[in-house]
Amino acid sequence: MTIAINQKPVFTKNGVFKTGATISAANTAKDGTGTVVTVFDAQQTLTALTSTGTTATATTTTPHGYLNGEEILITGAAEAGYNGIKTITVTGAKTFTYTVTAGLATPATGTIVSDPINGSRIAKLVFQPIGTNVATAARAFLNNGQTSATAANNTYLDDVTLAASTLSEVASMAGTDMTLDMVVPPFHKINVVLGTAVAAGYSVYAVVGGY
């Protein structure tokens, strides 16, 4: 009997990715155009990319959520040796390293970004009221990484009713879940809109499941 060894293991990410995104403005468009707020985008802008010998060290603007051994696509470095699909070692919430050819100029220059090539599984979005709001509806769209002003770049995912909320010092304001249970493909992002403007707004974050 021949046993095949899996050379491309399936990774598991779990936890909450707080984007810090808030939404309060109205958008009645049903196609993901107009005023949208991005609440999940796995792409990271690198604030620094340096190398010592054959080790490149990348620093991201926000916690990256990457895993040891994950394959990441690096693009945008003027020094081509930094770019490409790289297997990374996570060294911190906002840092990771990968192997490069020795002798690259350091630091790297350009507008440099990283993307996980395996995609990210999103269990749900959570809409948490910040204060007193009228009732409204929230809609989510999958954007292909291109401008959301073009309807063809957006795919409708789901919508939920957000009940009116009242700021209270003695009672919690319940969040509302939008269950997605989907894989966001590489280079894609999730945008949300509100059907009616609200006063205080909502904080929106993504809960990441295993895949």
* Predicted pLDDT of residue 120: 81
Q: What residue ranges define each of the domains in the chain, with the CATH number in brackets?
A: 12-41+120-210 (2.60.120), 44-116 (2.40.30.180)
C-alpha angle 130-132-138 in degrees, rounded to nearest 5: 65
211 residues of the chain, pLDDT tens digit each:
444 444 444 444 555 565 678 999 999 899 999 999 999 888 889 999 999 999 999 999 888 878 889 899 999 999 999 999 999 999 998 999 999 999 999 999 999 999 888 878 888 999 999 999 999 999 999 999 899 999 999 999 999 999 999 988 777 888 999 999 998 888 899 999 999 999 999 999 888 765 4
* Predicted pLDDT of residue 171: 76
Strands (E), 53-201: 55-60, 71-75, 84-87, 89-92, 95-99, 113-116, 120-129, 136-143, 154-162, 176-184, 189-194
Helix, coil or strand: residue 153: helix
* Predicted pLDDT of residue 112: 96
CB 50 within 8 A of CB 108: yes
Report the alpha-carbon distance of residue 182 to residue 125 in Å, rounded: 11
Amino acid identity, position 53 = G
